[in-house]
Structure 1
């Protein structure tokens, strides 16, 4: 039975009982409204806090401690969910039941998290300067590597084009170099204190555990009451009258043509399942129209797929092509959408897409990471808390007519094209 507790105002705990895994997974999610000016700060913090602390002053010390806890895993990441930016601290430990004697690795792991988060390698003046400079340099190198990856670069440029009127949505979840330059050890530490005190906190613990023991151990974390600020989670953007188009020339071995479409349906709203299937038929599965007709039959793309962001009402198409074929590829992609919107897809393709989505969902339930992430999503979007059987039944109930209706809401908004000068060979 799932246990839910409020540890303080704005601080919640969910304990997911499971005998499926021999590990315990602990996730502390710090949730804040998405703001362009704090995205890069939070990303740098994730790297900085993973590196060392007052109790583990070097990376070697920190790694040795994890090893001593029977090979525990620890990491911090950042990501966007619509209008929220989420800073996730994750720790995976071997369950005490599988360890010798009176081993208390769960208690030891929570003490470790407390030391990392509330005793960082810092003074009142700011983070340790040497550590800060090293991680800032590492982040600069990482950002450069992302932009050197032309497929990732094209996706980011399409995002920047599509979200041209929203600075918060334009900035990637991991930040950018422009904002990174202005961050200092002092102002980052000041922001960190603000984050610890003000962010909404959602803690999820997954494993074969005693809920009362877990709750008691977690009360030792100095999470003070805070006012929970819950932003409107779903980002809604008005339709533009004329498709935005951007072409860029860079040295690249393979041209990239990416397209963005607006949809009015969000996570687990009434038409969610129909749009999920519409995207699967369009380009979101291995037997989709884009894969079959653009890549396989016409041989016009090295890859072609679509993805659905149900928190931002967005479907994107990603392709790698020969630059000389760009007009032909645009036309054939438009044709696939027309086919979808007209319902000119086979019952077999519909059945295969439903089966694929079901299998993906079932497979995901074997991942502790997915289960804890899904718990957070269910806290943010309570209507998404459904049983496996209900998910399957909802997919089965979607008719071809509902998919057609959902597909007809897909509107092209932005086209980004990246190629080398003179075309690709």
Structure 2
């Protein structure tokens, strides 16, 4: 439902949750945004407003709403940079004082968006500087997570698009360059120019919410976004080896895949990834970890919005070549059809079960509603998804697997 051009309301009516959930999502072209500034905006959105001018007062307000939740998250979908503001509160029927908690969440959203903690045209400096320091500390700490660090290095190696070579939160160095003025101006630009989607999940009085949203000063905007990114396939495999102080080594591989979210081969790609390394029964886990004992952890991850399949393994430094050989062997098994029908059935069952279980989470319902909004019929309902997965044949898997091509290899060699 459109509030004004580029601003949308999505109401998901359900009685399965005891809480009501609200998400306000800002979406913008990843190549045209300043990630560091948007990450700082996300920090400030969850910290204070002019009505609640310090974190303690904002937490007190949330506590009064029976322990309401407030958080933010920054992600990337294809070539779109997303900033999510998430609010949740107990349903009105469970409020001891009879409060309309959905109305309270909407009032808090209005305070966060349109009454921010500012001085003239910048964020209030003392609170902002504290949140800036916190964000830098978070990003510096992430570097110490060898798996997170290795994944970022793989992205730098694999992607040719500059905007995808770094974290959605930018880098500590870039964040350090920003200040309360540049971040606040970015927030104002987001309010004016980003696509904005507001999601409400629970027992919702849609008419009442719509009336309230029409009173908010949203301005029309025209936004063109690309949620699908597919890099050109090359004959060159980019490689990088790096040594770090760590107890174990990490091997990361990036493969170009031919299909995109909702595409013709999408279901086949999901099943192939499930067979390869998504589940505990998959080839990589059983062959490399359980049988060969070569990996402390190993899995594959598919990003259908950026058409990349990644494999990550925690291993001993002297096992890199052996692990590479066995990973290649398992992928070749997919390409040549050397897998059982029982393994396919189990994988399909796990995929369907995972999709079914995801509907027990409000955020998953919100993500599905967003995908339906931007992808239309390509975003399948649960029953459609189940039908497409069950229809995947062994020939489909083999045909799809033969189009998966290795493009980048990153090895972080741990040394003590």
TM-score by length of structure 2 reads 0.97
Matched, 1:333 2:327: yes
Residue in structure 1 matched with residue 281 of structure 2 by the alignment: 287
1:43-58 equivalence runs, <5 A:
43-58=39-54
Residues 253, 420 of structure 1: 8 Å contact kept: yes
Q: Map Cα deviations across residues 276-320 of structure 1 (whole Å, 9 max, x no partner).
A: 000110111111110011111111111111010000000000000
1:5-404 equivalence runs, <5 A:
5-35=1-31, 38-100=34-96, 102-163=98-159, 165-227=160-222, 229-404=223-398
CA distance in 1, matches of 2:363, 2:49: 25
Q: For structure 2, which runs of at least 5 residues remain unmatched after alignment?
A: none
CA distance in 1, matches of 2:91, 2:379: 26
Q: Map Cα deviations across residues 318-345 of structure 1 (whole Å, 9 max, x no partner).
A: 0001111111111110111101111100
Q: CA deviation at 1:124?
A: 2.3
Residues 37, 179 of structure 1: 8 Å contact kept: no
Which 4+ stretches in 1 moved above 3 angstroms? none
Residues 26, 90 of structure 1: 8 Å contact kept: yes
Residue in structure 1 matched with residue 404 of structure 2 by the alignment: 410
Tell me the C-alpha RMSD between the 2 structures. 1.4
CA distance in 2, matches of 1:221, 1:76: 21
Residues 277, 284 of structure 2: 8 Å contact kept: yes
Residues 154, 254 of structure 2: 8 Å contact kept: yes
Q: CA deviation at 1:102?
A: 4.8
CA distance in 2, matches of 1:293, 1:264: 26
CA distance in 2, matches of 1:57, 1:100: 27
Q: Map Cα deviations across residues 185-221 of structure 1 (whole Å, 9 max, x no partner).
A: 1111111111111111111111112221221122232
CA distance in 2, matches of 1:278, 1:21: 34
Q: For structure 1, which runs of at least 5 residues remain unmatched after alignment?
A: none
**3-state DSSP class of the match of 1:205?**
strand
Q: Which moved more, 1:245-254 or 1:132-141?
A: 132-141
TM-score by length of structure 1 reads 0.95
Q: CA deviation at 1:100?
A: 4.3
CA distance in 2, matches of 1:324, 1:173: 33
Q: Which moved more, 1:188-197 or 1:120-129?
A: 120-129
Q: CA deviation at 1:35?
A: 2.4
Count of aligned pairs between the two proteins: 416
CA distance in 2, matches of 1:324, 1:7: 59
CA distance in 1, matches of 2:26, 2:167: 18
Residues 102, 204 of structure 2: 8 Å contact kept: no
